[in-house]
A and B are shown apart, each in its own frame.
Chain A
Amino acid sequence: MAQLAKNAKACTVNPLKMSQPIGGALAFMGMRGAMPLLHGSQGCTSFGLVLFVRHFREAIPLQTTAMSEVATVLGGFDNVEQAIVNIANRTRPEIIGICSTGVTETKGDDVDGYLKLVREKHPELDHIALVYVSTPDFKDAFQDGWAKAVTALVNALVEPPLPHSQPDSRRINVLPGCHLTPGDIDELRDLFEAFGLEPTFLPDLSGSLDGHIPEDFTPTTIGGTGCEEARAMGSAAWTIAIGEQMRPAAEALEVKAGVPFRLFDRLTGLEANDALIRFLAEISHHPVPRKIRRQRGQLVDAMLDGHFHIGGRRIAIGAEPDLLFAMASFLHEMGAEICAAVTTTHSPLLAQLPGEEVIISDLEDLEVRAQDADLLITHSHGRQAAERLHIPLFRMGLPMFDTLGAGHLVSVGYRGSRDLIFAIGNLLMAQGHAPTPESWREFPSTLSNPPIKELVS
């Protein structure tokens, strides 16, 4: 439906996009006992660290190979080796997830080769999983980095089932896209468990970045999916992938372990969740639980109550493809008009977006296209544009540094969709303009200057 407009600018102004390596690093943060490691100069890590700390309001495990100018020119083997050894000694991780950056990709460091050498030289590190993903900063975006890291995790960890073994019909794998918050993961876990299913999320941010007080003090992630659990994913009955970005990871899992997958391009909105619930009932042979039937009713009611405020409103959205698709589609179903859509990277979903046009660009372009919008939806960096446009900003995506509870914003399931209607509807409701005597005046009044004055005697 939407045409992909060409971005001809040389200068990106007010970036919407963030870089691939930190998307990859975030995926690794959904693993238990993980230490993500960026292979680049220490600034690459420092910026990502500050960004995640401010978004999640949590301690963030993230390390750097601290490439100097000289090391960059000579190649980074020593730095990669030292970093792994130091991390192993200092933090005792289960897994080190390594992402390359622009610097080391420009040089052309062969990190796969480095890791082979490290394995040969350091048999004492055999118990630590080392997973590498190539994520140059000058290509693609945050969402792509996340997707590539999950694919790398699947390829590195998941073991094919034993021959002649039957898949465990209770167990399912879930591959969530980076647009799902820890709160979303929790919501989905509740849903799956209500059908008697046992989900393994890869990765699982709800264990590591949901802001809980940990059971123990650790410099690595404080929860998430363990490597053992990931290895066992090959014996699950189904894989559920959420977001188009997860298709390559789901395909990799199918190729590696023969687990069939079903991809849901979004889980926000009535129809989208109906499809999920139908599927869960089918694979679990479990009737839809009462709790969920009630939640559906509540969502329908919320849609009825909310359509007064959302219907016909013009909404401008800036987000990564999967989040953009989920939000634009849902709001479109609620009767809103998507007057501007800006995203960060290519996706087959872009062609299916409601609205006339979508552009891979920045928040400057979103602001220009949102001149007569009623609402802006993007991450916290939209705050300057919203202020200039005098319209409210509904914060979604990463980073959300000027708000509490970013990790618990839920937009999936019947319940998440219902609450999203309330939050957005409330913002729009508060925008109501009270009429004044001048609201509908189109021609000047002549009363203030009457042509004939009559004296009242």
Chain B
Amino acid sequence: MSSLNQTIQDVFNEPGCGKNQGKSEKERKKGCTKQLQPGGAAGGCAFDGAKIALQPITDVAHLVHGPIACEGNSWDNRGAASSGPQLYRTGFTTDINETDIVFGGEKHLFKAIREIIAKYDPPAVFVYQTCVPAMIGDDINAVCKAAAEKFGKPVVPINSPGFVGPKNLGNKLAGEALLEHVIGTREPEFTTPYDINIIGEYNLAGELWQIKPLLDELGIRILSCISGDARYEEVAWSHRARAAMMVCSKAMINVARKMEERYGIPFFEGSFYGIGDMSDSLREIARLLIERGADPELMERTEAVITREEARAWERIAPYAQRLAGKKVLLITGGVKSWSVVAALQEAGMEIVGTSVKKSTREDKEKIKELMGQDAHMFDDLTPREMYRMLKTAEADIMLSGGRSQFIALKAGMPWLDINQERHYAYAGYHGMVELVREIDRTISNRVWEQVRKPPPWEEEGAANWQSRAMASLEAEAEELAAARLADPALAEANRRAQAVCMCKGVSTGAVEDAVIGGADTRGAVSAQTGASTGCGACGVLVDQIIEDLSPLLQAAE
């Protein structure tokens, strides 16, 4: 486990991440992940994150070393598309049993690798470590090494057992495995000055194919996509690219940054979501390639394609944009793509009434604020009940979220659209933006909403339904609180002050307020005094809010 701990520390030390560099040595050791709350958490684990990041490599056998839960409950459940091999959709697991727990699972794992190679002959086997074999001390690095030597094939250990942290960390640990064992181990047949890597793109619903035709047209070759629709050898020779684009926020920043360090491949962080972002990304790709020696005329051709595509996209969006202008969108995305989606929706004339930021990094959050102005609500860890209240009080016309929270909207008779991993539609590039707008329109304008909101025949028109009862009960609770405040102001105030602002460090509202009243009038000052917002940073906006709320009071005092 010590090497795994080192890797995790190394990931936490990421110099490409400004946020980490702003921390003290001690804080950094604690890691960049929010402490999970028992009974209040809902996300995936580090193993899940590693699998998401690597499974899109289509010709590899992905073998999960663990009990049946890790693979049996989850295999073939993502929409990463392949243009060829289907082996990545085959579920392989050692399905370890009690005997393995007692005697160790290493031999079992070795045999499983042998069987896979004998039956399926893949170019490589990826072995994923999970919690239980990590606990009993199975050394998958040693098993993979022995198997690789014995069978003359790459067998790559992915050390990312679930309990080391959340999905986001798993993405990075997967990247570390590629850097250590895969990247730089093969050579492409030839290279061109127009070779790029795309890092952090998983080709969900075939989104890479909404981008690739334009790159093809410009003569830009995707030498390697990590990892959407990738083949093993492509990833292995990705170190020969001239430039790289890092998609999807910070999920694989370590791969991009270390490839720059080791192989001198410059990268930029971009997005394929939204017309503006798509154009910026094409320009940036061209710029980096020209910087690395491609013919400068590439930029002219790129601009020509951008002009043509933007015009075509706007033309196709126009009929919808008229109908959607002013429609309010409640955006609850568990993913790291919040800000990219915000930009895209604003292009279609819609208004964003909120977005969740649970898994987004702080920089994501800053970008969201920049894009939406200060008015937008950002929700951290909303309970379903609160989410429902938002839907009602924000008077949203549609909710966009991941699959899990869809039923809050649907049961309330509200239009809803899936924008997370499990979605079936591709929303990238110019085509994708048009597709997203079309889907939103198809959803909002469906006649079914009128039907499902009708009361049953045994109830009077306008009679209380469960939705109105739920709202009434929320109001009743608020009144109860107010009454409690009247009855026992001291207790109510104590309760209010005891509510946590910062979940990571357990800092209460009262503690933050006291610090602000005591003179700490910036987020930094409050953090330094109370420790609030020094964990995951998600509560920074709440601290800002408290400072803002109290500032008239302070000014009056002066």
Contact = CB atoms under 8 A, between A and B. Distances in A.
Interface in A55-73: 57-60, 63-69, 72
Contact of B131 (A51, A72, A216): A72
Interface string B372-406: 00000000000111001000000000000001100
A75 interface: no
B95 A12 contact: yes
Nearest to A213: B411
Contacts of A85: 39
A15 interface: yes
A387 to B, nearest CB: 9
Contact of A79 (B38, B66, B111): B38
Nearest to B119: A13
A59 B69 contact: no
A117 to B, nearest CB: 15
B89 interface: yes
B315 interface: no
Interface string B452-467: 0000000000000011
Interface string B91-102: 111111110110
A217 B466 contact: yes
A42 B44 contact: yes
A15 B385 contact: no
Contacts of A64: 38-39, 41-42
Interface of B: 36-48, 63, 66-77, 86, 89-98, 100-101, 108, 111-116, 119, 131-132, 135-136, 161-166, 383-385, 388, 403-404, 407-408, 411, 422, 466-467, 469-470, 473
A44 B161 CA distance: 12
A82 B38 contact: yes
Contacts of B404: 49-50, 53, 59-60
A304 interface: no
B73 A90 contact: no
Q: Which are the 9 A-B pairs with shortest beta-carbon distances?
A: A43-B45, A83-B39, A86-B39, A10-B111, A11-B112, A137-B67, A19-B69, A83-B38, A59-B407
A401 interface: yes
A151 B388 CA distance: 36
Contact of B68 (A18, A48, A51, A65): A18
A41 interface: yes
B115 A66 contact: no
Contact of B69 (A66, A137, A215, A219): A137
Nearest to A107: B135
A219 B108 contact: no
Nearest to A380: B76
A18 B93 CA distance: 12
Contact of A213 (B36, B100, B116, B466): B466
Interface stretch (A98-106, A174-182, A260-268, A319-327): A98-106
Contacts of B75: 14-15, 381
Contacts of A79: 38
A47 B38 contact: no
Nearest to A81: B38
Nearest to A11: B112
Interface string A102-140: 110011000000000000000000000000000011110
25 contacts: A10-B115, A11-B111, A11-B115, A11-B116, A12-B71, A13-B90, A15-B68, A15-B75, A19-B68, A41-B163, A44-B69, A46-B45, A51-B73, A53-B404, A65-B38, A66-B38, A68-B164, A72-B163, A80-B38, A86-B37, A102-B131, A136-B67, A138-B68, A138-B98, A381-B91
A41 B76 contact: no
A102 B91 CA distance: 20
A223 interface: no
B383 A90 contact: yes
A381 B75 CA distance: 8
Contacts of A87: 39-40
A352 interface: no
Contacts, number: 224
Nearest to B404: A53
From A50, A57, A79, name the one whose CB has the most chain B CB atoms within 10 angstroms: A50
Given A54-B403, A138-B97, A138-B132, 9 more contacts: A11-B111, A12-B72, A19-B69, A41-B163, A42-B42, A57-B407, A63-B40, A82-B37, A217-B467
Contacts of A453: none
Given A59-B411, A87-B39, A384 B132 contact: no
Nearest to B452: A213
Contacts of B66: 102, 137
Contacts of B98: 136, 138-139
A17 interface: yes
A121 to B, nearest CB: 15
Interface in A206-227: 213-217, 219
A219 B116 CA distance: 43
Nearest to B421: A50
B101 A106 contact: yes
A60 B384 CA distance: 11
B384 A59 contact: yes
B179 to A, nearest CB: 23
B163 A12 contact: no
A75 B111 CA distance: 32
